[in-house]
Amino acid sequence: MLILNADDVRRCLPMSECIGAMKQAFGLLGEGRAVVPLRAQLSVAPHSGTTLVMPAFVEGGDGPDALCVKVVSVFDNNPLQGLARIQAAVLVLEPQTAQPLALLEGATLTGIRTAAVSGAATDLMSRPESRVLGVLGAGVQARTHIEAVCCVRPIESVRVYAPSAESVERLVSELSGREGLLKDIQGVASSAEAIRGADIVCCTTTSSTPVFDDTDLAEGTHVNAVGSYQRDVAEVPAATVVRARVVVDDYESAWEEAGDLLQPLEVGVIDRDHVVAELAELVGGSCIGRTSDEQITLFKSVGLAVEDAMAARVTLANAAVLGVGQRVEW
């Protein structure tokens, strides 16, 4: 069995390639060629954690069938112990026999594939001439979302805000020197400063309450919201949801887990028809991402295992070419 650590996954899953794989993943999902049950959630309350189990089978596309199971945990106390809040592993199985083929470090894969899905949505929903990106949050997802959006739009300026100025400074220092990314990445003092005049906004926080004021959001902005996946958590103000054209990664998962949508639904300011499409419908061409340049668009994702399966397929294909990873007897 092949073992790929975080550095291996990062090397074998380039963002531009992953964005293409995510479009294909949702295309196959829309064609009924993917089996993606709702993930199981296991509360580990004594340790302030939740463990999620996410299986998927994907048939075909431009590569072999894909079968995998991801176990991803979100433990809020981990940073106090010097550990990442998110821990994950992806087990890849041989589709015809279920023989274990590979074990991939899953937090890195999750960080890349989540941003790649937002990149695909941004490509299908934001204005093509978008130049300014506002990012709320300064963690892993903030970093990967900057990379993803820069892959699909001619971004000239990135403005980042998070409550921790030190975290923002680290992000700016790290990304400003990274090859292939623009140099105009700057930290700002407030969420308002980050999103005012932005063409695209990415919400990548762990906040349980909205992270910006709707009045600061300009007409025509596209918003990606990825930080929350629980009913009692919402990064996006209800007022923004109300005036936005809303697309989700999956109807069933969104109405089960997405607090950004469930909370406005529960108070009666939207109904279920307010969500106009799943991402698969945009990829397949049966629905369009925006209908005018002035429209606010919102992509809300909670994450699907089909993304992990396709990301793992790309990773393993590149690992075979590059000779990356460690093989162990099983």
The 10s digit of each residue's pLDDT in 229-244 is: 788 899 999 999 999 9
Percent of the chain with pLDDT over 70: 99
Q: Which value, to the nearest 10 degrees, does the dihedral of the CA atoms of residues 151, 123, 54, 73 take?
A: 50
- Per-domain boundaries in the chain: 2-110+305-327, 125-300
Amino acid identity at 51:
T
Residues 160 and 171 sit within 8 Å (Cβ to Cβ): yes
* pLDDT score of 206: 87
Joined tokens for residue 72: 């991803």
Overall average pLDDT of the 77-102 stretch? 95
Contact indicator for 315, 13 with CB cutoff of 8 Å = yes
- Encode pLDDT of 192-202 as tens digits: 999 999 999 99
pLDDT of 268 reads: 97
* pLDDT over threshold 70, residue 45: yes
In this predicted structure, which of 167-181, 211-225, 307-321 has the lowest mean pLDDT? 167-181
pLDDT at residue 151 is higher than 90:
yes
202 forms bridges with which residues in the sheet?
135, 224
* pLDDT the model gives residue 183: 73
User: For the CA atoms of the chain, what is the radius of gyration?
Assistant: 19
CATH number belonging to domain 125-300: 3.40.50.720
Q: Cα separation of 291 and 149, whole Å? A: 21
- What six digits make up the tokens of 3? 């073992």
Mean pLDDT value of segment 11-21: 97
Closest CA to 132 of 3, 222, 30: 222
Say whether domain 2-110+305-327 belongs to CATH 3.30.1780.10. Answer: yes
Cβ-Cβ contacts under 8 Å for 285 (sequence gap 6 or more): none
Query: pLDDT per residue over 234-288, tens digit each?
Result: 999 999 999 999 999 999 999 999 999 999 999 999 999 999 999 999 999 999 9
- Interval 124-129 mean pLDDT: 98
- Residue type for 61, please? G
Q: Six-digit token pair at 264? A: 């406005």
Q: Are 154 and 181 in contact (CB under 8 A)?
A: no
What is the model's pLDDT at position 180? 67
The whole-number pLDDT of residue 62 equals: 80
